[in-house]
Amino acid sequence: MKATKTKKQDPRIKIPHDIVEAGDNIFEALGFTNGEAAELLMRSQLMMALKKWRQASKMTQTAAAKELGVTQARLSDLERGKFNLFSLDMLVRMADRAGLQPQLKLAA
């Protein structure tokens, strides 16, 4: 007789659960308030832009960190997406130092 495998249910998934369509801001879909979601989205966009800037410039983390005025370890944390370690104002200053010309646009 052939043994059959049973697929184990992920314990983090509660049945039944709602499936929420993600809109323009995934953080809203995750349940953050509008203000929190907006800040997290801005922080994530700045972090991704800084990572792309370093990769496109072909700089090492050490060289890029020096240009941004932070340590290599700090830049490593940024590139690994450690949101909790970076304020929005710090990310804006770093983006400016990288020459990315960060701007804020408000929707009516």
Contacts 24+ apart (CB under 8 A), 86-94: 86/43, 86/47, 88/39, 88/42, 88/43, 88/46, 91/42, 91/43, 91/46, 91/47, 91/50, 92/46, 93/69, 94/46, 94/50, 94/68, 94/69, 94/70
For residues 36 and 14, the model is more confident at: 36
Per mean pLDDT, which range of 32-41, 57-66, 85-94 is the poorest? Answer: 32-41
Report the chain's mean pLDDT, rounded to a whole number.
Answer: 86
Tokens of 71: 């340590």
Are the C-beta atoms of 66 and 54 separated by less than 8 Å? Answer: no
Q: Is the pLDDT of residue 83 over 80?
A: yes
Per mean pLDDT, which range of 33-37, 66-70, 90-94 is the poorest? Answer: 33-37
CATH T-level topology, domain 26-97: 434 Repressor (Amino-terminal Domain) (1.10.260)
Q: Which residues contact 87 (CB under 8 A, 6 or more apart)?
A: none
The domain limits of the chain are 26-97
* pLDDT score, position 12: 64
51 closest CA partner among 17, 82, 26, 20:
82
| pTM for this prediction | 0.76
* pLDDT score, position 105: 84
Rg of the chain (C-alpha set): 19
